[in-house]
Chain A
Amino acid sequence: MKYIDEFRDGALARQIAARIAAEVQPGRRYHFMEFCGGHTHAISRYGITELLPAAVRMVHGPGCPVCVLPIGRIDQAIHLALERGAIVCTYGDTMRVPASRNLSLMKAKARGGDIRMVYSAADALKVARHHPDREVVFFAIGFETTTPPTALVVQQAAREGIANFSVLCCHVLTPAAITHILHSPEVAQYGTVPLDGFVGPAHVSIVIGSAPYEPFAAAYAKPVVIAGFEPLDVMQAILMLVRQVNDGRAEVENEFTRAVTRDGNAAAQAAVADVMEPRSEFEWRGLGLVPTSALKIRERYATFDAERRFDLRYQGVPDHKKCECGAILRGVKRPTDCQLFGTVCTPETPMGSCMVSSEGACAAHYSYGRFRDIPVVAA
């Protein structure tokens, strides 16, 4: 496939791997966090870990939109479908996230909730147009990538005067989450999670640009290399991070120049700013309450805000006691450190959110990387 295969070239990958191995300094270890679930997925799916020298360790970050969604938010969506009779539209991955009372959106659907999987926010608005007699709620999740489409449909709904459409806005912000991780005691005080740099988000950065990472790279002296989601992008970004660490630099570099500019997509940013504003705080699964880390619908679009429309009150719900999703999302633990991993928690019966989405650290490791935990008997 044109423009795809070029970024999945195995021969080039081995060349970059050889460069990384050559430039890694003896005795030094390199811990890089890939923030995005898209990178986690690429690393697992293409077997990138196998191509890296032992001195480079990739730490999975919290950038999986489904994984960071707290139980309380899923509960709200289920409540709207089951108790308020609304049609709830949502992205596919959200369907399987475990919620309270042993439910998930998929199980709520089986109990009669009208819950529909959509591919875009625009499709949710289409559902609202087709069912003028029903309340239609778009359960909007995701980082800055999926936020502009939500903003656009709210504007569209306002223009068309659609009276039965609203958004349960759970959009979250990347820079706030990265900063929060660096503030976490494991990183900031104990140093139990050494982090030498970040592979920066791909699609998120197309929207917000590379500039928002600059103050952060400077303040915390951590290099950031923004990378595309193709495996060669990731390899190249790792090489660039190794070079920054070796040189003692902490800059924001852009490997993904074919799509990311310094200032990002101004039109998208304007739409988001028109419709949404920061929340004072938002609960993330694994990270807890993170200040100014999410968006809500502005007053002027209040009728399209499901929280106001249905008078929803947020109720936090603790994760399963043994579930290590929190520590895994902060990079403190690996999936295999969790007692539930691969036993009671599998992609078929996920207990924690990291096992739900293919971008989640646990699901990615379970689905693609498990053989590394167990020596395979040769034929």
Chain B
Amino acid sequence: MSSQPYVRPIDFKHGRIDMNHGAGGRASAQLIAELFTKAFDNPALRQGNDAALLAAPPPGHRLVMATDGHVISPLFFAGGDIGALSVHGTLNDVAMLGATPFALSASFILEEGFRLADLQRIVQSMARAAAEAGVPIVTGDTKVVEQGKGDGVFITTTGLGWVPMARDIGGANARPGDVVLLSGTIGEHGVAVLSQRESLAFDTQVQSDTAALHRLVAAMLAAVPEGSVRTLRDPTRGGLGTTLNEIAQQSAVGIALDEAAIPVQPQVEAACELLGLDPLYIANEGKLVAVVDAAVADTLLAVMHDHPLGRRAARIGTVQADAHRFVQMVTRFGGRRVVDWLSGEPLPRIC
């Protein structure tokens, strides 16, 4: 028999996505083979099926699942891109339950006309992020929409993890007397992205903090007794202020913050000052908030400081009884104020 017929390789340098790439025919298969399967390569994907067969979690564990759609603009920004972000974001959601992520899926919605060079760059960045995190992308999907009906590329990822049966980490577990820890400086991701939006381009050296937090979480949980870490959250959209309000709401407690203790990079502070924004409401993609038993706070801080993603970890506040569930803050100026939920997009003030 003859060998496979010759197929001209995809021109990733000059090519663009067209409707054929999503039609399910040869072009789709070729794109999957030459780009996705090649970049994400792993045993589950190599099975070549429409679904992945995975091993069951170890005995005494439960499954954790999280999903996250990524629609960021611009697609490439200082410190990351939509690819890395789509891996980190979902891994972090899984990790915030104290779980160990073990598999990811990825669904791409591509816009007709999207440059293949950009897609390749994004897919390779995803592959790198997944490899670094030690979590394979085991299944996926690609669809193409007509020009004008998408914004280049949207990526939805789903993550699976497992967590010991007895572990109970969640937003409703904060108790009066607990301590609030933050893993590092806030606001870098939001500022890095904002600075590159066409409408308000400004020069800054700020890089997105996008990173996978599950190893930091694992190190923290290994260092203290089960149950002493009550809540873990990554303050993404809405920023630290909104995340703390969610925790206060879910746990029916108040939170008292010390503004001076919240680490912010000077460049982020400067950019926020210029744009009239508050770093408390700016998105992060590689930070976590931990509400913990006061007795283990120092131990955890030491563990965080020893981890590359927790070097600037700080104790930023305490949980208190408060029927109104306010997040309050002693300002650096010496006054007190409420830190409210973010309302709407963080719009700039105009004068």
Contact = CB atoms under 8 A, between A and B. Distances in A.
Task: Decide whether A and B assemble into one complex.
Answer: yes
Interface of A: 1, 4, 8-10, 13-14, 38, 41, 44-51, 65-66, 91-96, 106, 116-119, 123, 141-143, 145-146, 203, 231, 346-348, 357-359, 366-371, 374, 376-379
B351 interface: yes
Interface string B316-347: 00101111101010011111111010011101
B326 A371 contact: yes
Interface centre among A45, A141, A371, by most chain B C-beta atoms within 10 angstroms, is A371
A8 B346 CA distance: 23
Nearest to B176: A379
B64 to A, nearest CB: 31
Given A119-B200, A378-B320, A50 B350 contact: no
B226 interface: no
B308 interface: no
B341 to A, nearest CB: 8
A13 B334 contact: yes
A232 B192 CA distance: 30
A45 B326 CA distance: 15
Contact of A367 (B270, B332, B338): B338
Contacts, number: 121
11 contacts: A46-B331, A47-B333, A48-B333, A49-B335, A65-B351, A142-B350, A357-B349, A368-B337, A368-B338, A376-B326, A379-B254
Contact of B273 (A1, A38, A45, A123): A1
Given A41-B349, A95-B347, A96-B347, A374 B334 contact: no
Contact of A48 (B200, B321, B335): B335
B177 interface: yes
Given A1-B273, A376-B322, A377-B323, A47 B199 contact: no
A118 B322 CA distance: 40
Contacts of B269: 1
Nearest to A44: B337
B337 A47 contact: yes
B266 interface: yes
Nearest to A363: B343
Given A1-B266, A370-B326, A377-B322, A47 B351 contact: no
Interface centre among B275, B338, B347, B350, by most chain A C-beta atoms within 10 angstroms, is B350
A369 B335 CA distance: 11
Contacts of B199: 116-119, 123
A28 B328 CA distance: 32
Given A41-B349, A347-B343, A367-B340, 18 more contacts: A1-B273, A8-B333, A44-B337, A47-B335, A51-B335, A92-B348, A117-B347, A119-B348, A143-B351, A347-B344, A348-B344, A366-B340, A367-B343, A368-B340, A369-B338, A371-B326, A371-B338, A379-B318
Contacts of B176: 379
Contacts of A10: 331-334
B214 to A, nearest CB: 32
Q: Which 4 A-B pairs have the closest CB atoms?
A: A47-B335, A92-B347, A379-B320, A347-B343
Nearest to A66: B350
Interface centre among B275, B323, B331, by most chain A C-beta atoms within 10 angstroms, is B331
B343 A348 contact: yes
A376 B337 contact: no
Contacts of A377: 254, 321-323
A10 B335 CA distance: 8
A116 B199 CA distance: 9
A8 B332 contact: yes
Contacts of B332: 8, 10
B340 A347 contact: yes
A132 to B, nearest CB: 18
A134 B194 CA distance: 26
A379 to B, nearest CB: 4
Contact of B350 (A4, A14, A44, A91): A91
A379 B335 contact: no
A346 B341 CA distance: 11
Interface centre among A14, A50, A143, A346, by most chain B C-beta atoms within 10 angstroms, is A50
Interface in B246-264: 254, 256
B333 A374 contact: no
Contacts of A374: 324
B261 to A, nearest CB: 14
B350 A92 contact: yes
B241 to A, nearest CB: 10
A46 B351 contact: no
Contacts of A66: 350
Given A46-B337, A95-B347, A116-B199, A4 B273 contact: yes
B324 A376 contact: yes
Nearest to A119: B200
B177 to A, nearest CB: 7
Nearest to B202: A119
Given A91-B350, A376-B324, A46 B335 contact: yes
A96 B344 contact: yes
Nearest to B275: A119
B344 A203 contact: no
Interface in B145-169: none
A368 B338 CA distance: 4
A45 B351 contact: no
Given A10-B334, A13-B333, A379 B351 contact: no
